[in-house]
Amino acid sequence: MAEFIVLGAGMVGIGAALALQARGHAVTVLDRSAPGTETSHGNAGVIQAEAVEPYAIPRDLATLFSYATGQSNDVLWHLRDLPAVAPALWRYFRHSAPARHAVLSKGYAPLVLSATADHAPLIAASESEALIRRTGLGELYRTARALDAAAANAERMRDRYGLGSEVLTGSALAEAEPALNGPLAGMLLWTDSWSSSDPGALTRAYADLFLARGGRVLTGDATSLTETGSGWTVESSEGPVEASDVVVALGPWSPDLLAPLGYRIHMIWKRGYHGHFNAPTPLNRPCLDDANGIVMSSMTRGLRITTGAELVGRNAPRTLRQLERGQRAARELLDLGAPVPDSTWHGHRPCLPDMLPLVGAAPRHRGLWFDFGHGHQGFTLGPTTGRLLADIVEGQTDAVTAALSPALRGV
Ligand SMILES: Cc1cc2nc3c(=O)[nH]c(=O)nc-3n(C[C@H](O)[C@H](O)[C@H](O)COP(=O)(O)OP(=O)(O)OC[C@H]3O[C@@H](n4cnc5c(N)ncnc54)[C@H](O)[C@@H]3O)c2cc1C
């Protein structure tokens, strides 16, 4: 069995490490910080069974106009960053054409549809049940028109993918979410989605499971990776680590590692922010305020608000504009309470223009494997793409793995 180094200890790297370990490989995970402390910590914590169709750039002029003029809180862009982000965005726009998006959704849906089933044994084995809610994901709508449109879409999703949903209004909504007291037409509840009250802690619990099963987690800088005659070596705080095979699971930082090896990855870093608040009444499930591009979810540190996408260079200065606007919107819907001090964060959804993660063999290097680019759903998909990567390593390929293949996608 090959020896693997997995670079990156987010949900994706830990998911891959557990899957490779389960197939009998000796696996070392290397990260510059502790597991689950970056993007896999800061997200909205939804295991998104409903997200079977990847998020495309909308094509209707009204939405594009609201993005361009800064009216929508979903997307924020800056003239300063436009030259850097425009080439990847243009590719993303082209992949968002309806016919192309339909093809990409065929590749994406099987991944998302197996995500809760792939998390379930890890939740059980890591004894993480207390971090999990199986109460769905709520989408909140302020007008009857928007709620009706969401309900019609949910019916289409039920017919096409078998996804469960309910529409809650009036007393049913009040019973489901006593914290909500604002001007709402209702909630579209996706019943199959799960969520975590602490996504970083869940990632760390999976990392502890990996350790308990005999894995190693070391501290080190992945950019020290070098190719040797027989494989790869990387520097760690415990000295050099050698292996025949390496998995790149560095999320938003994956392109940095791969550029010197000759792989140009067009990544769109969709920055998101979070902040926590001392809301007196918790929400029973994550709730998306559709009109304001925020998700509100009760977490260990308080009620977490996460924002939509800020299109920036990864090292651009932070602007709390979307979070402040989201906070004002949230206060219309519930008693948010005071902000929890020092609890704001930002990170980047590692999005690829064709909206699918890259999973499989690097086209031009022996023993180098990709598992990154999970965009909006890496917390959902880490265990699933880990399992698929382990299949690919064993030579098991099919239509699902072909859709993710770096070689077939021209990397
Ligand atoms: C605001 C927001 C909300 C989101 N909500 C959801 C959600 O509800 N559901 C969902 O499924 N997804 C969500 N996502 C997306 C999800 O968080 C990401 O897709 C996922 O966390 C990516 O996981 P990862 O393991 O690839 O990356 P990360 O978790 O970022 O892990 C990458 C690791 O690489 C390490 N690293 C980087 N460079 C080096 C180096 N040179 N040397 C060593 N280590 C290095 C980092 O320390 C880090 O631990 C959200 C994202 C954001 C920003």
What is the signed CA dihedral for 191, 192, 198, 200, rounded to 10 degrees? Answer: -150
Phi, psi of 66 (to 5 degrees): -65, -30
CATH of 3-41+200-266+356-402 given 3.40.50.300, 3.50.50.60, 1.10.760.10, 3.40.35.10: 3.50.50.60
Which whole-number Å values give the CA distances from 278 to 139, 288, 355, in the listed order? 22, 18, 35
CA distance 203 to 379: 9
Dihedral sign, CA of 178, 184, 189, 190? negative
pLDDT tens, the chain, 411 aa long: 679 999 999 999 999 999 999 999 999 999 999 999 999 999 999 999 999 999 999 888 888 888 888 888 999 998 888 888 999 999 999 999 999 999 999 999 999 999 999 999 999 999 999 999 999 999 999 999 999 999 999 999 999 999 999 999 999 999 999 999 999 999 999 999 999 999 999 999 999 999 999 999 999 999 999 999 899 999 999 999 999 999 999 999 999 999 999 999 999 999 999 999 999 999 999 999 999 999 999 999 999 999 999 999 889 999 999 999 999 999 999 999 999 999 999 999 999 999 999 999 999 999 999 999 999 999 999 999 999 999 999 999 999 999 999 999 999
CA of 62 to the centre of ligand 1 (A): 32
Question: Residue 187's CB: how many other CB atoms inside 10 A?
Answer: 26
191-203 pLDDT, tens per residue? 999 999 999 999 9
> Closest ligand 1 atom, CA of 35?
49
Domain residue spans in the chain? 3-41+200-266+356-402, 49-98+124-196+267-351
| 49-98+124-196+267-351 under CATH 3.40.630.30, yes or no | no
Q: Atom 9 (ligand 1): residue with closest C-alpha?
A: 46
Q: Which residue has the tokens 């709508």?
A: 141
> Closest ligand 1 atom, CA of 377?
11
* CB-ligand 1 contact for 128 (6 Å cutoff): no
